[in-house]
Chain A
């Protein structure tokens, strides 16, 4: 997927966004990690993007894109920019009763974006 680093020309890309838990005062109950990558997807998905390899968010989208490229679009729904790859975040934190909880939270970080 594309990164929103000024070179994506407004196309669907991943915008990185990092929150330091100290800055928001959450470092007293979250032991690790030190912050969270709240990345998100933004940008447009014009029809010609359908042909860009790796831009489809799923196999189903890749098939629909083939129809769209041949002008056989199934309906007039626009394509939108969504996460295509997510990763797990391991967290260590205190709960209300001072237990330390260690947990892998799946699908927590957006790694890549694509057009659905």
Chain B
């Protein structure tokens, strides 16, 4: 066949048939995927998230349907972009799973390491905490309506980062080293189940500080008498592990089309 002319503007010249499975070609495609995900290297997964926690989070979110064969199907964001007539900068949804360490109170503390995907100017459009409340076996009889007040304390923007001390109650040394803000919600519990708490401001505050650690304190007024309890970080119960969903987009602002 006639030799393939190189073209001034075609930087990439595909290998010919015999080299297709050439490892360089494969590496080029891998590099392309990592570039588009703004990653330098592929993540190093040493201790994977329990599958039960992952499946629960995905199922709760409709972010993906887990098929019988375990494969995941993902609906894309596009439908929503068309919905609000705005040209969306790249939107991503980040699910972080709760962790605990020696800085968090075992009774009421947990923290999240929220990813900003290596992007400093990520705009958080929405963030929700998902908490599972379990009706304790020894609680009042089934079907009784239980109204409790759940208080989520988080550190405000400008507060010293780190979880030393808590909002004047639990969490290590007691007394806070920074200002804590509060999200409060009345929850009506009939049975065990998931509940969400809006934490957009909290996550924006963490990103605003250039940090990614989101410390929370969870207090529930009335839970004991109602015989219910929020599940925090419990290795024995991975499928009810709290998780944080952050919907963010790259704040570039250039490509916005507004209705006039």
Contacts and interface: CB of A to CB of B under 8 A. Distances in A.
Interface stretch (B7-15, B144-152, B185-193): B7-15
Contact of B49 (A88, A98, A106): A98
A31 B45 CA distance: 12
* Interface size, B (range): 35 or more
Contacts of A78: 5, 7-8
Given A78-B5, A105-B36, A90 B20 contact: no
A38 B29 contact: yes
Given A105-B90, A108-B36, A26 B76 contact: no
B226 interface: no
Contacts of A10: 1
Given A102-B92, A103-B90, A32 B44 contact: no
Contacts of B91: 103-104
Interface residues of A, number: 45
A33 to B, nearest CB: 7
A94 B46 CA distance: 12
Contact of A100 (B10, B44, B57): B57
Contacts of B75: 90
Contact of B71 (A32, A38, A44): A32
A100 B66 CA distance: 15
Contacts of A42: 14
A96 B76 contact: no
Interface in B192-224: 212
Nearest to B20: A17
A24 interface: yes
B81 to A, nearest CB: 9
A33 B54 CA distance: 15
Given A80-B7, A90-B76, A91-B74, A105 B37 contact: yes
B64 A31 contact: yes
Nearest to A45: B7
B228 interface: no
B20 A88 contact: no
Interface string B64-105: 100000011111111000000000001111111100000000
A95 interface: yes
B137 to A, nearest CB: 32
A94 B49 contact: yes
Contacts of A7: none
B45 A90 contact: no
A42 B1 CA distance: 14
A108 to B, nearest CB: 6
A19 B64 contact: no
B76 A88 contact: yes
Interface in A62-116: 77-82, 88, 90-106, 108, 116
Given A80-B8, A99-B115, A102-B64, 12 more contacts: A29-B43, A31-B64, A32-B72, A36-B29, A38-B29, A40-B14, A78-B5, A94-B49, A97-B115, A98-B45, A103-B93, A104-B76
11 contacts: A41-B14, A81-B7, A82-B10, A97-B96, A97-B115, A98-B49, A99-B96, A99-B115, A100-B49, A104-B76, A108-B36
